[in-house]
Amino acid sequence: MIRQSASFLSVAALIALSLPAPRAAAQTQVPAAPAQPSAPTAQAAPSAPSAPAPSTAPVFPKPDPANFTATSPTKETVNAFLDAIWGYDENRVWQVQAIFKTEAPGVSKVVVFAGDKTGKDKPSALEFFVLPDGKHIITSNQIVTFGEHPFADLRASMQQQANGPYRGSASKDLEIVEFADFQCPHCKEAQPNMDKLVADFPKARIVFQYDPIASIHPQAVHAAEYGVCVDKLGGSTAFFQYAAAVFDGQDGLSTPDGATLTLNSAVTKASLDPTKVAACAADPATKATVENSIKLAADSGVTEVPTLVVNGREIPASIPYDVLKKIIEYEAKRDGVAAE
């Protein structure tokens, strides 16, 4: 569920970089860098190579040293970044084709050719601009974290601030944070995959963070407040019993009266007293807990629910489960932690 079309683009920029090559092809829609009078070859990005023959890995043209006019970032940094983004896909291949200096001080333009080892996908060109801080890029008119370890800062933030109910390990070495809204149909659809993750990654800490979108789902905040209290009074086990019941009865959240019945029923299924939970939900401290979780989502760049943050890497929960599992395994390997 997307808050608004404009905010979706910031997520789409990262998703396109993260997912298989056909999605990344959309990243070619970037304004051209300012012309370089002293380096005519930098005025336009090299064109993407023709599609290779079926079942044949692409052969990229040899990079021209004249197209590496910027001192930063280095080719090694760009490759490390792309390995962090794309390395989970064993069929993905790429080549850094150019790193241009631009007229904007400290801003470099990077051109990358990407393809698929099997040859089933036509090679494409990806262009992005590296900002002067060396920690961010502009791609598809959006700002994305850049560098050899692009997920490190968000990982640390999640470890410090994602304090919602959790399943699995108490350790935060492999942490999967789910930002969700109880009234969001897509969040409900994602729950079977969340259950699979619990089974497939017993060493992971899988956290639920409240991110209700009140402008679209008027009962979602109320459901989140009840969730806070169920967790407070009954712990994580009771919370996930409550959450499963709320998602199962999600249609009942369409009206205030229906929401009351649905939430009270879910509390009862979690073996708690609805009267005590309702009293807790009215406490300003409970409301502050939900607001803090919403703020964490916003500060982390989460603009779509359900979104997963795997050791700092944002992933839409809607992607195929086999891809999701590969990404989690890859992030665990990169961070040197046991996944399964």
State the Cα–Cα distance between residues 18 and 323, nearest whole angstrom.
11
Predicted local confidence at residue 12, as pLDDT: 41
Predicted local confidence at residue 15, as pLDDT: 44
- Determine whether 266 is exposed, middle or buried from the number of CB atoms within 10 Å of its CB (0-12, 13-18, 19+): buried
- Determine whether 257 is exposed, middle or buried from the number of CB atoms within 10 Å of its CB (0-12, 13-18, 19+): exposed
The b-or-e profile of 102-141 (16+ CB within 10 A means b, else e) is beeeebbbbbbbbbbeebebbbbbbbbbbeeeeeebbbbe
**Nearest residue to 319 via CA among 9, 11, 27, 6:** 11
What does the longest C-alpha to C-alpha distance in the chain come to?
A: 75
Domains of the chain: 5-148 (no CATH), 153-334 (3.40.30.10)
Predicted local confidence at residue 22, as pLDDT: 33
The two three-digit tokens of residue 141, written as one number? 């008119």
The two three-digit tokens of residue 200, written as one number? 């497939």
State the Cα–Cα distance between residues 330 and 218, nearest whole angstrom.
38
**Nearest residue to 306 via CA among 208, 168, 233, 236:** 208
Predicted local confidence at residue 17, as pLDDT: 52
Whole-model pTM above 0.85?
no
State the Cα–Cα distance between residues 258 and 199, nearest whole angstrom.
33
205 bridge partner residues: 168, 175
The b-or-e profile of 3-31 (16+ CB within 10 A means b, else e) is beeeeeebbbbbbbbbbbbeebbbbeebe
Could you tell me if 109 and 39 are in contact, meaning their C-beta atoms sit under 8 angstroms apart?
A: no
List per-block mean pLDDT (blocks of 10 residues) for the chain, which spans 340 residues.
Answer: 42 45 29 34 42 66 96 97 96 96 97 90 91 95 93 97 97 97 97 96 97 95 98 98 98 96 98 98 98 97 95 94 96 89
Q: What is the 8-class DSSP label of residue 68? A: B
State the Cα–Cα distance between residues 44 and 33, nearest whole angstrom.
7
Distances (CA, A) of 151 to 14, 93, 154, 283, 286: 12, 21, 6, 35, 30
Angle, CA of 292, 224 and 259, to the nearest 5°? 150
Torsions phi, psi for 114 (to 5 deg)? -130, 150
